[in-house]
Structure 1
Amino acid sequence: MSYNNILSEENNGITTITINRPKKLNALNKETISELHEAFREADLDKNVKVIIVTGSGEKAFVAGADISEFANYNIEEGKMLAAKGQELLFNFIENLSTPVIAAINGFALGGGLELAMACHFRAASDNAKMGLPEVSLGVIPGYGGTQRLPQLIGKGKAMELIMTAGMIDANKALNDGLVNHVTTLEELLPLCEKIAGKISRNSSVAISAAIRAINANFKDGINGFDTEIQEFGNCFGSEDFAEGTTAFLEKRKANFPGE
């Protein structure tokens, strides 16, 4: 499928989705959010795809924020709808995707860009990356899950300070705070993410999907994560991947998981 604002390419079981609006520093507008939803949906439905990497085009920005010109004149109800639809269509959608998603943060990840990265299952950053949620400097707050996911990742106090000051942190600070898992050079960012994706791809996609659901359950209101873990653990016993994995272990060979 062709897109106006993104590129999507699959290679050896890894789909790389690139936000391709370099003149706008890859800012998120409605069309880009819709295209990202479709690209993630297609990759998730493809059984050959084991991992998804999302990044930005160029060397300056992952995503520099939302396209403010689209909503500068919105009223209260329109603002609520913007946040609700965006969260449903993209940010919550990515978080709950059954295929692992790695954010390769190659520069500025601000506002909606950082919220996109935080919705991914984990993150790696180039050493030139800058991250922040500057929305209060515009008289608004993060609306795509930023007030919820940032405290989960770095703690309430640090998140409060970063949001209230509308400040930015560099890649090493983000690493120390637990916002990203890895920091490397810009040239090595995608190769690093691809290396990690390769390690993930060798494991059971059924079990990985179950692990995503179990981990996410701990952060959902009214859901007991331990109960979800028990349920998902039990479900694994009915999968072909479990049969292959245990048989391969007993036969002292590498497993060839069918993904079912």
Structure 2
Amino acid sequence: MTSATTHAPVSPPTEGTVRLEIAGAIARLTFDRPAARNAMTWRMYEELAAACAAISANPAVRVAVLRGAGGKAFVAGTDIDQFRAFSSGDDGVAYEEKVELYVSALESLKVPTIAVVEGWAVGGGMALANACDFRVATPGARFGVPIARTLGNCLSAANVRRLVGALGVGIVKRMLLLAEMPTAEELPPGYLAIVAPDALDAHVDDLATRLAANAPITVQVSKEMLRRVALDPAPEDAELIRRTYGSADFHEGVDAFMAKRPPQWRGA
């Protein structure tokens, strides 16, 4: 595969940036505002959306890895200073609707996503990590939405649904009502992998390589099917099935299996 590197526009240091680098089949997004534990500004949210669009438009990309700069946090929520301008409940509704656009863009990304969590994934950072398909965390990494003891705001129903679907209602109640921040070790088995810091890069690279090696259309369709089933137990699926069975990759897979050779996936 050919390799290329793409960078998001550089933002002023106080506003942070979301950097996108693409090398072959792997895209890497970095939330880069370490002085504020990578708390998201509106500019960063917009750059995240632009990065998701760039990944979706690039047929060579087969997996995306998301990580916070500095090694202290994935994302520590949304920059609180942005809430000072709120004057009514309608501002909150508009804010949650806007954030939902960015979280759903990440959740709907056609390729598998891996969140690498070192330190903290808080508030909006928890929502972003939870919207990814896989999470890899260092020991003691903390996850939560402690708004009941910090800002006194709330989550949208869409984000509550995502959290309950991934973690179960009991843990989400502890996060939202008790404002607890459980460690990676306290979260359900299967929700994430816990990896020592000195083995983190190798583990993430191996996971990304394994995902990128699988049949891309099968992976993309399976991911979208899982997303739809989470919203509707009997979703429309004919076009997804048609896309998969009508692909050249499906015929290549059958031919390779019968010939006892490795398949050569082309994503078509």
**1:216 lines up with 2:246 in the alignment:** no
> How far has the Cα of 1:178 moved from its partner?
4.1
Equivalent of 1:46 in 55, 58, 78 = 58
**Aligned residue runs from structure 1 range 1-260, under 5 A:** 1-4=8-11, 5-74=17-86, 75-88=88-101, 90-137=102-149, 138-143=151-156, 145-174=158-187, 177-178=188-189, 180-221=191-232, 224-225=234-235, 228=237, 232-260=240-268
| One-letter amino acid matched to 1:149 | R
How far apart in 2 are the matches of 1:46 and 1:189? 27
Cα offset, 1:234, TM superposition: 4.0
Amino acid at match of 1:95: E
CA contact (8 A) 2:121 2:143 kept: yes
Inter-partner Cα distance in structure 1 for 2:51 and 2:243 = 28
Inter-partner Cα distance in structure 2 for 1:108 and 1:256 = 39
Aligned residue for 2:182, secondary structure, equals strand
Q: Unpaired segments of 5 or more residues in structure 1? A: none
Q: What TM-score do the two structures reach when normalised by structure 1?
A: 0.92
Shift of 1:179: 6.9
Distance 1:190 1:146, change over 3 A: farther
Helix, strand or coil at the partner of 2:230: coil
Paired positions, count: 254
Measured in 1, the distance between the counterparts of 2:227 and 2:28 equals 23
Aligned 8 A contact 2:140 2:185 in 1: no
- 19-28 or 210-219, larger mean C-alpha shift: 210-219
Q: CA RMSD in A?
A: 1.7
SS at 2:143 equivalent: strand
Stretches of 4+ aligned residues off by more than 4 angstroms: none
In structure 2, give the amino acid aligned to 1:233: I
Q: 2:184 touches 2:192 (CA, 8 Å); kept in 1?
A: no
Q: Give the secondary structure class of the aligned counterpart of 1:52.
A: strand
Q: Taking structure 1 as reference, are residues 50 and 203 closer, same or farther at Cα in structure 2, changes over 3 Å only?
A: same
Question: Identity over aligned residues, as a percent?
Answer: 27
Q: Distance in 1 between matches of 2:47 and 2:241?
A: 34
Do the aligned residues in 1 keep the contact of 2:76 with 2:120 (CA within 8 Å)?
A: yes
SS at match of 1:18: strand
Q: TM-score, normalised by structure 2?
A: 0.89
Aligned partners of 1:153 and 1:178 also within 8 Å:
no
| Structure 2 residue matching 1:3: 3-state secondary structure | coil
Please give the alpha-carbon distance, in whole angstroms, between the structure 2 residues aligned to 1:97 and 1:111. Answer: 21
Which is worse superposed, 47-56 or 146-155?
146-155
Q: Is the CA contact 2:147–2:153 (under 8 Å) kept in the aligned structure 1?
A: yes
Q: 1:211 aligns to what SS in structure 2?
A: helix
The offset of 1:73, in angstroms, is 3.6
Query: Counterparts of 2:254 and 2:179 in 1: how far apart (Å)?
Result: 50
What residue ranges of structure 2 are gaps of 5+ in the alignment?
1-7, 12-16
Question: Aligned partners of 2:221 and 2:166: how far apart in 1?
Answer: 21
Is the contact made by 1:22 and 1:57 (CA closer than 8 Å) also made in structure 2? Answer: yes
- How big is the shift at 1:208? 0.8
